[in-house]
Structure 1
């Protein structure tokens, strides 16, 4: 896979979500929202930044030890889509081949990646389920989650595909 990327056979850009944003498990073309924004590298990085390094290595809802965490200092007790998108950009940079932080890396446009993450959160059901998971994972908030959604594919930009699948799932359950 890496050779294909280096040779230009596979294009890595901001229109598809990297595997680190997905939870471990099978990937479904027909339900691309399944496990989205629940990947361990993403959740661990979030906990590390907002709760402290020891929280990133601990079980869900762990507080960091030592100095006060960003969450504690600033009174943050819930997760926002913008902070998930921000951490995803940081993780993407750390995993890239770029020696310095830069907004663009080849075909990858950082600001567009950030916007595409926020775009998926426009779906109210997805946003509610995903943020409930994050609040539970990071802050030990009660986890009240409806049954997972299912949907079908249809567009090139993965954020659009996911939104279409979520919209279709909402209309089929109405």
Structure 2
């Protein structure tokens, strides 16, 4: 029979009497599971921390994607060349100069209007930007800028192909404009050259064409000239250069291709022909029936009216699409895109007088009707409202009552 050593140690009380023995071997056996439990708890804690880190990273990625998407509107409707930082700085400067002691320049006014356009397009920006730490704010601006520039690049690529197709369809140049080759455009191409030709010159004149191509004195093309592609019928009236300005078909097509959809750019003929209303109703029916309808740019940024800066953006994009330069830049030879964009913006935002303001507002209403296919009730003038049948009947009834009272 084997001998098992007794590992228990007798416990002796203060008087030397044996008491109940304590078995330490049993204690060691009961301690082992607690170590395993602690290890399991530690693993659970690490897994929880990992989940927290992953969750935080997911939230940050989702937030960055949101900012990126929001930033895509900036070049299109806020400022094509100005940075968000410049807009914020100008707004801060005006806030500090609350007494209005300093006179503002045209450039400063343009920046301030741009800041209002920014906060109107991104309503959350002012509050969130003001509450952020500097590093988070700098990261926000970086992401917004990336979104803005990526959208501009996408629009440039889209219009590169579309504009060549529209030019070929309408003017049938021989050889046709290559949708991929930018070198075949510009003033070397007859159709593109005609559209890029300054309004004050006649492209049909061989002397003019040669002078522009050779960049001769008197024929240098700069941002100080309105190109023919801006005009209705692509022809300007030298005695009234405002007539038909910003009403060209290719400009309207390009605007709709960017802000609504390329398919909507097919419907630009006629003035208020209802084509857009019919299409909008079709989209609404498809949406209400449960079918997914892809949201266009204007819908995403909740844009319901055409704005001066969105027109200026498209004007610059169309010129680039017609030109022979292969990469986006602010200066093309003698033509400064920055100054050109500012000229278009100032045409609408800084008219020289009341009459010019009324004409600019009327032109914007025309654009809104053409792009969105509807007028807005609040935009109807009091004169027009007074001639509508409800108001007209009210006057007629009052006049009859007065006539009855005056009759013997």
TM-score normalised over the length of structure 2: 0.33
Asked whether the equivalents of residues 261 and 296 of structure 2 are also in contact (C-alpha less than 8 Å), the reply is: yes
Q: Is 1:4 aligned with 2:231? A: no
Structure 1 residue ranges without an equivalent (≥5): 146-174
Partner of 1:52: 261
Following superposition of structure 1 onto structure 2, how do residues 113-132 of structure 1 map, counting pairs within 5 Å? 113-121=340-348, 122-123=350-351, 124-132=357-365
Counterpart of 2:244?
Answer: 35
Against the structure 1 CA distance between its residues 98 and 118, is the aligned structure 2 distance closer, same or farther, given a 3 Å change threshold? Answer: same
The equivalent position to 1:83 in structure 2, one of 310, 326, 330, is 310
Moved over 6 A (4+): none
Between stretches 2-11 and 132-141, larger displacement belongs to: 2-11
- 1:25, distance to aligned residue in structure 2 (A): 6.6
> Retained in 1: the 8 A contact 2:330–2:337?
yes
Deviation at 1:35, TM superposition (A): 0.6
Let me know the Cα RMSD of the aligned residues: 2.2
Spell out, residue by residue over 1:50-85, the C-alpha distance to the aligned partner (whole angstroms, 9 max, x if none).
Answer: 001001112466358762110112211100000000
1:70 aligns with 2:297: yes
- SS, match of residue 24 in structure 1: helix
Tell me if structure 1 keeps the 8 A contact 2:232–2:244.
yes
Q: Deviations over 1:94-134 (max 9, x none)?
A: 11110111110011000100011112112211221110110
Q: 5 Å matches for 1:143-158?
A: none
Contact 2:331 2:337 in 1 (8 A): yes
Q: Which has the higher contact order (CA 8 A, sep 6+)?
A: 1
When normalised by structure 1's length, the TM-score is 0.75
Match of 1:137 in 2: 370
Give unpaired runs (5+ residues) of structure 2: 1-207, 270-274, 284-292, 352-356, 382-408
Shift of the 103–23 alpha-carbon distance from structure 1 to 2, 3 Å rule, reads same
3-state SS of 1:31 partner: coil
Q: Distance in 2 between matches of 1:88 and 1:25?
A: 14
TM superposition shift of 1:29: 1.6
State yes or no: 1:104 paired with 2:315.
no
SS of structure 1 residue aligned to 2:222:
coil
Deviation, 1:26, is: 5.1
- Count of residues in correspondence between the two structures: 145
SS in 2 for 1:37: coil
Kindly indicate which of the two structures has a greater share of residues assigned to helix: 2
Q: Distance in 2 between matches of 1:48 and 1:14?
A: 25
Aligned-pair CA distance for 1:141: 2.4
